[in-house]
Amino acid sequence: MSYFENFMKANQAYVDLHGTAHLPIKPKTKVAIVTCMDSRLHVAQALGLALGDAHILRNAGGRVTEDMIRSLVISQQQLGTREIVVLHHTDCGAQTFKNEDFTAYLNKELGVNVSNQDFLPFTDVEESVREDMALLRQSPLIPADVEISGAVYDVDTGRMTVVEE
Ligand SMILES: [Zn+2]
């Protein structure tokens, strides 16, 4: 039995709350947020965002990858965003392993050789935010005048702390 049935039930109630809206496709704040998939981080609530306000791009760790850049280019060049926030968090799953151990584990468990793949783990969460802000700055696909901010979200308190570039 999958959990999916519960989602379908919950959605029935949500539809009543939602009502019918015709929000524009372009985010109102013109901001794209690059963040982690962590289940303890409710980005919209933590940042005071409503429907239609911002793009929220998530992956494991909230890392700036090739696919994250792909989404940002569409966000900016097709959908009008002009600002990026890199938001990592405390107690991240990307801090729980090293590439060598993880790739060895995957080789054993799944029989797949991924020894040359970087799963982008990190140890220092402020450093990972700075690294990813730097990657965005260096990317020729991100215009130089795009505002880039960074922060760390504390999963225990909900507080965000600014990380300077
Ligand atoms: Zn995380």
CA distance 75 to 142: 11
Radius of gyration of the chain (CA): 18
Q: How far is the CA of 109 from the centre of ligand 1 (A)?
A: 23
Look at residue 127 in the predicted model and tell me its pLDDT: 98
Kindly give the distance from the C-alpha atom of residue 77 to the centroid of ligand 1, in angstroms, as a whole number: 27
Look up the CATH number of domain 23-162: 3.40.1050.10
Q: CA 11 → CA 21, 22, 115, 126, 136, distances in Å?
A: 16, 19, 41, 37, 36
What pLDDT does 108 receive? 97
Scan for tokens 């760390």, then name that residue: 152
Q: Say whether pLDDT at 1 is over 80.
A: no
Closest listed residue to residue 148, CA positions, set 87, 86, 88: 86
In this prediction, residue 122 has a pLDDT band, given cuts at 50, 70 and 90, of very high
Residue 36 annotated in ligand binding: yes
Q: What's the whole-model pTM score?
A: 0.96
The residues whose Cβ lies within 5 A of ligand 1, an ion, are 36, 38, 92
Query: Tokens representing 54?
Result: 């911002």
Question: Regarding beta strands 160-163 and 31-36, do their DSSP bridges make them parallel or antiparallel, or are they unpaired?
Answer: unpaired
CA of 39 to the centre of ligand 1 (A): 8
- Condensed to tens digits (0 to 9), the pLDDT of residues 28-75 reads 999 999 999 999 999 999 999 999 999 999 999 999 999 999 999 999
Backbone angles phi, psi at 130, to 5 degrees: -60, -45
Taking the centre of ligand 1 as the mean of its atom positions, its distance from the CA of residue 124, in whole angstroms, is: 12
